[in-house]
Structure 1
Amino acid sequence: MADHLVIRSRHVSTVIRATPAHVYSYAADPDNLPRWAAGLAQSEVRRDGDLLRVESPMGTVTVQFVETNALGVLDHTVTLPNGPSVLNPMRVVEHPDGAEIIFTVRQIQLTDAEFERDCLIVAADLERLANLLGG
């Protein structure tokens, strides 16, 4: 039997006291990324068609979101400076207290410590978004 690498996933989420439509529209607007997604965008977003280029902690990355949709899907592919692309599943769903935003972090070519660090960065970004939109 061949060795099989198991890629761990963790769903990181936060509840936001705002409507799902409001959370989705704010999070989907590339101009807002530097305001809340410091783990991804540390500069203004430069547009190149449907591709976004941003300065990130990893260097200059290219980001491409799925098309705007009514389902709350904010999946996006990040192409890293050294070439690999990573699909990041992200959703905004209805919650009894407003909306819940859920980001799936995958342990792809990361040590356990790097994976834990990435999960903490995503959690901080989502908390920042929640604070901007109503807690």
Structure 2
Amino acid sequence: MRSIHVSRIIHADPAQVYSFASDPENLHLWAAGFTDLGEVRVRFTATNDLGVLDHDVTLPDGRTVNNPVRVLVHPEGSEIVFTVRQLDMDDEQFAADAAAVGRDLDTLKQLLELRGDGPHRS
């Protein structure tokens, strides 16, 4: 089983990125990948100060997939890193899943940067 890390730099404070991304009420705004799966349950790890956004997704067939996610301090604000695991996917499905995660992170980046939560620049 392979894993890859999909990341994006977000020009926003890490605490703000963490707060927004960890709020289940905001998932529909940036995590379009969930909508393609049907009815799923998402359970985040306990709120923490370390930027850990790990979450378990229970799929309609009952399988649970663990998704490691971190919000890191970055010189330009934050970096969000999502680990995508191949599990039982073939190479084409794995590439498509990683691309979908990338699109979701792009949406998250756009939402947070448009909110004006980014660091002030001169």
Gaps of 5+ in 1: 1-6, 41-55
- Correspondence for 1:13: 7
Runs of 4 or more, structure 1, over 6 Å off, are: none
1:59 alignment partner in structure 2 = 38
> Residue in 1 aligned with 2:24?
30
User: Secondary structure in 2 aligned to 1:57?
Assistant: helix
1:69 — aligned with what? 48
User: Residue 58 of structure 1: CA displacement?
Assistant: 1.6
**CA-CA distance at 1:122 after TM superposition:** 0.2
RMSD, matched Cα: 0.9
More helix by share: 2
Give the Cα separation in 2 of the matches to 1:87 and 1:101. Answer: 17
Q: 1:34 is aligned with what amino acid? A: H
Question: 2:68 corresponds to which residue?
Answer: 89
Q: Which residue identity does 2:106 align to in structure 1?
A: E
The gaps in structure 2 that reach 5 residues or longer are 115-122
Range 67-76 or range 56-65, more displaced: 56-65
Q: Distance in 2 between matches of 1:32 and 1:58?
A: 17
- What is the Cα deviation at residue 22 of structure 1? 0.5
Distance 2:37 2:30 in 1: 17
TM-score normalised to the size of structure 1?
Answer: 0.82
Structure 1 counterpart of 2:105, one-letter code: L
Return the alpha-carbon distance in structure 2 between the equivalents of residues 82 and 112 of structure 1: 22
User: SS at 2:15's partner residue?
Assistant: helix
TM-score, with length taken from structure 2: 0.91
Larger Rg, first or second structure (1 or 2): 1
Alignment of 1:104-115 (within 5 A): 104-115=83-94
